[in-house]
Structures are given as C-alpha cells and as structure tokens.
C-alpha cells in the first residue's frame, strides 16, 4: 500500500469533509492552534484518511489493531519513530474530538501507544561560540547591522524564529525593558530585553529608517533592505548558517539554537525554571524541563573536570 501524495484533506467517502471542517474549527477555536500547526495536523491526518480509504476501514468501528497496522505502514515508508509519534498524537486528538461530538461511542485510541523514542536534547551554543558568530557579521554593511541585531535579540530574549520575524515596532517597550511577542496559538507575552539588545536595536533603527518600506510592512521590526518586506524564516536560516560557518562552527546551526542557548545559560546561571517557562512561552513545564537534562550534563562535566577526586585519578 502506497501513501497517497498529500493534496489536502479530501472526501474519502469514509471520513467526510463536514467532519474534517468541524475538526479544523475545533482546533482553531478550542485549541487555539496557529495556522502552521493546523496545516501540520491536517497533513498528518490525511495519512490516516488515505489508509482508511485504501483498506476499506470504517472510522467508527476502527480497532486498536488497525492503528498498529497503520503505524507499521508508516514505518515501512521510512517515517521516523519521532514523526510516527507525532502522527499518532494527532490521531488521538482527532478521536478525542470525534468522541466529544458523538461520532464514535468510545475513544478507540485510549490504549494506543506511541513508539519509544530517546530523549532528544536540543543543541546549544557556548557563550564563546555566540560571540564568534557575532564577530563574523560585517557591520559595515546595512544587512550586517540588521543581522548582528537579530542574533543578539534571538539570544537575549529566547525568541522563536516566527516570533522574531513577526516582531512589531508597536510591540517594543524599550524604555521599560520589554518587548511584546506573539507566540504559538497567537498568544501574546511580554519578554524582558537586555540593555545590549536594546542598543543593537537602536543601531538597526538608524539603518531601517532609510529603507523604502512596502505598504503593510511599516510596523515590522526586521525588514529586507532590498524588498522592503518582513524577513522570511528561510532567509534567516540561511543567514545564520552562513555566519556560523564564517565563525568556524562546522555543525548545522539554526536560529532556534539561540533560544535553546538562552534557556540553558539562564538555568546554569541559577534562574528559576518557572521563570524560564514564562519567558519561553511554554504552556507545559515539562517542555521546559528538557533544559534540566542539558544542565545536568554540564554539571557532570564540571564535576569530572574539577572535583579533587577526579583530578587525583587523572594524575595517577
């Protein structure tokens, strides 16, 4: 059985489009998911819709074995355990909705287990590596002034790339030391900004004021100098990769690594985990707790390097 190419949710004759439209409305209104997250949910759900259609399965009488076979099919097509776990999480969400709507008498996913995946620890840069990236940016060019500011704001505020690209002039409260960002689910939060990042913003504003800004983009902080529009996430990823290579960092670096570094360095400096959760905009503290694992690794390394028993052992 081949998975059909995703062309959007269609009427399979088993799960009709009316149910899918109601589910999309449920995700938007009840779960407040962003457009990107909604698209991801529906792309994953399309795989289940296709599987039901190909195998003549009635979604109202589906069994746990059907879900296991579905997961097996995903594995056969080379989909990773992490991606399968995400897809099955979306399946649970869909059947929870169907149960609430009375479309199925009982949630058949209650005993559905996701594949075991190892703990994924996010990549983190050292303070020295971040400084090297900043030093690699040529500030004699207008784009360099902008990008130097971007890296500093990413690291100083721990923003998601989408939050930085969507940052508005009207959301800057620099005298008070805060910026307002729009995170997942269009939820707004205030984030403290460092004096150094504020200085970088003022440097960028001295360049930004000379840009011919297109109508509708006047309120965006970070703009393309040539196009006069807000920066795309893809462009920002390319710039960061380029500066990392110039700084002699061989591993692949994304803008998101500055967010991970922000949280890890705060934790290492003694910041409260709840405070970090608020600054990152995590709904669940368990999402923030991954940085505890990183910090424990750092602590172990420090102990191995500096504890007198370990120093003596190395000398012996």
Catalytic residues: 160, 184, 256, 259, 282, 291
Q: How far apart are CA 138 and CA 282, in angstroms?
A: 34
Q: How far apart are CA 40 and CA 184, in angstroms?
A: 13
* Torsion angle in degrees (nearest 10) through CA of 295, 299, 302, 308: 170
Q: Provide the 3-class DSSP secondary structure of residue 108.
A: coil
| Residue pair 167/221 in contact by the 8 Å Cβ criterion | yes
Residue 161's nearest CA partner among 230, 107, 237 is 237
Q: Which tokens hold the place of 74?
A: 């995903």
Beta bridge partners of 173: 178
Q: Provide the 3-class DSSP secondary structure of residue 197.
A: helix
Residue 50's nearest CA partner among 2, 87, 93 is 2
Q: In what order do the strands lie in the sheet with 178-182?
A: 172-173, 178-182, 188-192
Containing H/E element for 38? helix 35-55
Q: Which tokens hold the place of 250?
A: 């061989």
Q: How far apart are CA 74 and CA 88, in angstroms?
A: 10
Q: How far apart are CA 19 and CA 58, in angstroms?
A: 14
| Residue pair 165/232 in contact by the 8 Å Cβ criterion | yes
């Amino acid at each position: 059985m081949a998975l059909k190419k995703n062309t959007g949710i269609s009427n399979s004759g088993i799960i009709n489009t009316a149910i899918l439209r109601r589910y999309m409305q449920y995700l938007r209104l009840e779960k407040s998911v962003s457009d990107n997250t909604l698209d991801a949910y529906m792309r994953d759900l399309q795989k289940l819709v296709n599987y039901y259609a190909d195998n003549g399965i009635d979604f109202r009488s589906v069994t746990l074995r059907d879900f296991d076979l579905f997961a097996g099919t995903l594995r056969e097509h080379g989909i990773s355990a992490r991606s399968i776990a995400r897809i099955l999480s979306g399946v649970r969400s869909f059947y929870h909705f169907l149960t609430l709507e009375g479309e199925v008498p009982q949630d058949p996913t209650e005993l559905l287990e996701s594949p075991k995946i190892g703990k994924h620890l996010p990549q983190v840069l050292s303070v020295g590596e971040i400084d090297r990236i900043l030093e690699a940016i040529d500030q004699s060019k207008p784009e360099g002034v902008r990008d130097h500011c971007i890296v500093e704001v990413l690291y100083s505020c721990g923003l998601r790339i989408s939050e930085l690209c969507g940052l508005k002039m009207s959301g800057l409260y620099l005298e008070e030391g805060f910026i307002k960002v729009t995170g997942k689910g269009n939820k707004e939060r205030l984030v403290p900004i460092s004096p150094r990042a504020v200085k970088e913003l003022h440097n960028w504003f001295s360049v930004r004021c000379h840009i011919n800004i297109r109508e509708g983009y006047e309120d965006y902080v970070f703009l393309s100098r040539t196009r006069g529009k807000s920066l795309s996430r893809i462009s920002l990823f390319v710039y960061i990769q380029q500066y990392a290579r110039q700084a002699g960092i061989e591993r692949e670096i994304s803008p998101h690594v500055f967010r991970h570094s922000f949280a890890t360095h705060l934790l290492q400096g003694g910041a409260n985990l709840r405070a970090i959760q608020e600054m990152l905009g995590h709904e669940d503290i368990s999402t923030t707790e991954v940085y505890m694992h990183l910090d424990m690794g750092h602590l172990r390394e420090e102990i191995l390097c500096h504890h007198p028993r370990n120093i003596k052992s190395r000398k012996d």
